């Protein structure tokens, strides 16, 4: 074992007594479910089912969403345990995953050992970039095969790992195979001296469609039959350009309804302060949108509804240096996607959609207004862009089945 991993193990063992205080504070802030805190110490809240068990770990919402189809296929062959680290991903798992859900234990040696002793997985599948040394060491000690799917490694992370090459090899070489999201991610991993890396594609393109609510969409369409545009997952600094675009577009589209879905619903008050003089309604209050006005969709879990309601969408986190958000979800539903220049977290996905003609790039608020104006004036072009994005996503439909076959073959 490299010295760095021995040090890590010692430090995590020594700091473990402090972790309950940290978790308690998180629970008070609504970041943990108090009744399920024992799971974070590796104490299971559910009995292990008999027979073969496949453990899948996905950190949060995005990773869980991308793994749903993979989980669904694997559940036909064995019981599936899904661990995540956030409340929202736990809710998604409860609604949509064919799996037992537990919160992932904190990576202290005692918690990791307790978790593995109870669940005794026959194999483990990690999604994207969750690398927990104590859990991985525990799997290796038990001779449990492990795999990394939809792996990503940013340039910044690659530089950090490059400082500890022996550590990187000890952790990554233990995976039976690594399926990277993109060739760039695969190249970054190979640059660390890691073998058995391939790049079959991004599982997010094969994720299930976001849920829709046909009755709610019909009600929205009745309230606002005119043109509609959407800003999805916005951050501070992006709402003002959207409101400015709405004001400018009203001259040519008097009944335009603009829906803003903030990434963090608690920002709704700050956004409402930008809409003075415009009809403004909030979904969290049960209000309906008004033609010509702004609709603040300050709720969670309804993006599928709004992508179905609006044929054109700006994807937030891209006009400000956040790194972008998941434009694939919009493309899957045939929504013409618009994105700003900050797309580091979705560079490969953006490149695929761009090459297919399913993404419009803009650089600032002026170009945002121009893009909306152009597509509102030419609905056929907007529909064509949306359909191009949908077809690009469909090209990855068989990816979960291919990855599942690799996993099952490796543990047969």
39 shares its domain with 154: yes
314 shares its domain with 180: no
Q: How far is CA 121 from CA 93, 102, 104, 111, 127, in A?
A: 19, 13, 14, 15, 16
Order of strands, edge to edge, in the sheet holding 257-262? 280-282, 294-296, 257-262, 228-234, 312-315, 336-339, 359-361
Give the pLDDT confidence score for residue 277 in this predicted structure.
Answer: 95
241 shares its domain with 388: yes
- Residue 180 host element (H or E): strand 175-180
Give the pLDDT confidence score for residue 154 in this predicted structure.
Answer: 83
- 361: exposed, middle or buried (Cβ count in 10 Å: 0-12, 13-18, 19+): middle
Give the pLDDT confidence score for residue 155 in this predicted structure.
Answer: 82
Which residues partner with 79 through β-bridges? Answer: 53
Q: What is the pTM of this model?
A: 0.89
- What is the CATH classification number for the domain harbouring 385? 3.40.50.2000
Is-contact 348 181, C-beta < 8 A? yes
115 shares its domain with 60: yes
Count of domains in the chain? 2
pLDDT for 354-386, tens place per residue? 999 999 999 999 999 999 999 999 999 999 999
* CB crowding 300-324: b at 16 or more within 10 Å, else e: eebbbbbbbbbbbbbbbbbbeebeb
Q: Residue 388 — φ and ψ, nearest 5°? A: -65, -40
Asked whether the predicted pLDDT for residue 130 surpasses 90, the reply is no
Q: How far is CA 88 from CA 113, 255, 326, 330, 358, in A?
A: 26, 35, 16, 20, 29
Domain assignment present for residue 355? The answer is yes
245 shares its domain with 129: no
Residues annotated as catalytic (active site), given as ranges? 63
Neighbours of 378 (CB within 10 A): 12
Question: Where residue 411 falls among pLDDT bands split at 50, 70, 90?
Answer: confident
Domain residue limits at 303: 214-394
Domain assignment present for residue 334? The answer is yes
352 shares its domain with 236: yes
Chain Cα centroid distance, residue 257:
27
Domain assignment present for residue 333? The answer is yes
Q: Among 393, 219, 360, 337, which Cα is nearest to 289's?
A: 219
DSSP states along 313-356: EEESSTTTTT----THHHHHTTPEEEE-S--GGGHHHHHHHHHH
For tokens 């490059």, the residue is: 162
Which residues partner with 127 through β-bridges? Answer: 149
Cα atoms in the 13 Å half-sphere on the side-chain side of 172: 29
pLDDT for 1-33, tens place per residue? 788 899 999 999 999 999 999 999 999 999 999
Q: Which of residues 6 and 130 earns the better pLDDT score?
A: 6
């Amino acid at each position: 074992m490299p010295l760095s991993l021995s040090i890590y193990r010692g430090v995590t063992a020594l700091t473990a007594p402090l972790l309950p205080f940290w978790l308690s504070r998180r629970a008070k802030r609504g970041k943990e479910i108090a009744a399920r805190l024992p799971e974070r110490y590796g104490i299971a809240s559910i009995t292990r089912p008999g027979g073969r068990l496949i453990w899948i770990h996905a950190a949060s919402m995005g990773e869980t969403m991308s793994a749903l189809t993979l989980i669904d296929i694997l559940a036909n062959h064995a019981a599936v345990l899904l661990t995540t680290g956030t409340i929202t991903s736990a809710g998604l798992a409860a609604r949509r995953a064919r799996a037992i859900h537990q919160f992932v234990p904190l990576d202290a040696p005692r918690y990791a050992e307790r978790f593995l002793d109870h669940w005794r997985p026959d194999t483990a599948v990690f999604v994207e970039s969750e690398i927990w040394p104590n859990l991985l060491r525990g799997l290796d000690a038990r001779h449990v095969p492990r795999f990394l799917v939809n792996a990503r490694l940013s340039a910044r992370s690659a530089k950090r790992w490059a400082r500890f090459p022996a550590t990187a090899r000890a952790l990554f070489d233990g995976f039976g195979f690594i399926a990277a999201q993109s060739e760039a991610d695969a190249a970054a991993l190979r640059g660390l001296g890691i073998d058995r890396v391939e790049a079959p594609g991004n599982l997010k393109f094969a994720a299930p469609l976001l849920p829709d609510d046909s009755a709610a969409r019909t009600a929205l369409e009745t309230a606002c039959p005119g043109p509609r545009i959407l800003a999805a997952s916005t951050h501070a600094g992006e709402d003002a350009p959207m409101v400015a675009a709405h004001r400018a577009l009203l001259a040519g589209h008097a009944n335009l309804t603009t829906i803003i879905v903030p990434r963090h619903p608690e920002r709704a008050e700050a956004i409402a302060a930008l809409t003075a003089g415009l009809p403004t309604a909030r979904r969290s209050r049960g209000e309906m949108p008004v033609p010509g006005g702004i609709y603040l969709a300050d709720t969670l879990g309804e993006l599928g509804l709004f992508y179905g309601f609006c044929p054109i969408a700006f994807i937030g986190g891209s006009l400000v240096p956040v790194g972008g958000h998941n434009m694939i979800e919009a493309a899957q539903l045939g929504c013409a996607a618009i994105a700003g220049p900050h797309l580091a977290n979705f560079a490969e996905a953006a490149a695929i959609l761009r090459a297919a003609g399913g993404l419009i790039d803009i650089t600032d608020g002026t170009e945002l207004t121009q893009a909306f104006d152009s597509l509102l004036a030419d609905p056929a072009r907007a529909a064509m862009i949306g359909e191009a994005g949908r077809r690009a996503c469909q090209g990855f439909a068989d990816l979960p089945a291919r990855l599942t076959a690799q996993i099952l073959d490796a543990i047969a």
